Amino acid sequence: MQNSFPYIDILIFGVIAVFLIFRLKNILGTKTGFEKTSINKKTQEKQFSNVVSLKSEKNDLNDKDLSDILNVDPNFDINDFLSGSKNFFRMVLESFVSGNLDSIKSFTKPSVLKSFKTAIDERNNEEETLIIELKSIKENKITNSTITKSSIKLNVIFETFQIRALTDKNDNIIDGNSENEILVKDEWVFERKIHDNNPNWTLVETKSN
């Protein structure tokens, strides 16, 4: 009988160990939503670069254009750029509709930001309300690149389905339609300084067709 005691001791210690493991898992393994994600500085900078870096099938750049970009910016990635540009496009629409441009001003050329603010001020003075609901992005592609000694510029096309309407102070629709989707085509130009440590792209021009 005495020879069985060591085995009982082992069994007891095993049960205690399993209990402690589960306790530690419950204490340390629970996510609260406030944990910091372990990502390096470069990844953090790319999460919200003004927009984007480039290699996707959805672009009109030829191999030479892409090669020229990579020569001055080896870290350039088309997929990242286009993904970032879509996120920024949504941000700009939301900011323009709300009338608060704070979230985009660091990524927007002052003259472009001024034109946005002028349109918002005019809308507010007339007590008008703008409705823009982005339903889907049909196409998002780079159509042209321009490289100088100091910068890279990329022309990006956005073809999107949106609901757009403008209402007066009495909530009457004076332009657009609040129910039907329309196809909207925008061309935006993004720029990044080559010798700048800032990895972000800046919106320097907008055109609508």
Mean pLDDT in consecutive groups of 10 residues from the start of the chain, 209 residues: 49 46 35 30 34 45 88 92 96 97 96 97 97 96 94 97 96 94 96 90 91
- The CATH code of the domain that includes 73 is 3.10.450.240
Q: How many CB atoms lie within 10 A of CB 33?
A: 4
pLDDT the model gives residue 9: 52
Q: What is d(CA 175, CA 117) in angstroms, rounded to the nearest whole number?
A: 20
74 within domain boundaries: yes
39 within domain boundaries: no
pLDDT the model gives residue 201: 96
pTM, entire model: 0.70
Q: Which helix (H) or strand (E) covers residue 151, if one does?
A: strand 151-167
Residue type, 187: E
Number of domains in the chain: 1
Q: Please, which residues bridge with residue 184 across strands?
A: 160
Alpha-helical (H) ranges within 75-181 are 78-98, 110-125
203 within domain boundaries: yes
Q: What is d(CA 208, CA 114) in angstroms, rounded to the nearest whole number?
A: 17
125 within domain boundaries: yes
23 within domain boundaries: no
Residue type, 205: E
**Domain, as residue range, for 137:** 45-208
171 within domain boundaries: yes
18 within domain boundaries: no
pLDDT the model gives residue 30: 30
Pairing relation of β-strands 151-167 and 182-193?
antiparallel
pLDDT the model gives residue 26: 36
pLDDT the model gives residue 8: 52
13 within domain boundaries: no
Q: What is d(CA 83, CA 101) in angstroms, rounded to the nearest whole number?
A: 21
pLDDT digits (tens, 9 = 90+) for 119-155: 999 999 999 999 999 999 999 999 999 999 999 999 9
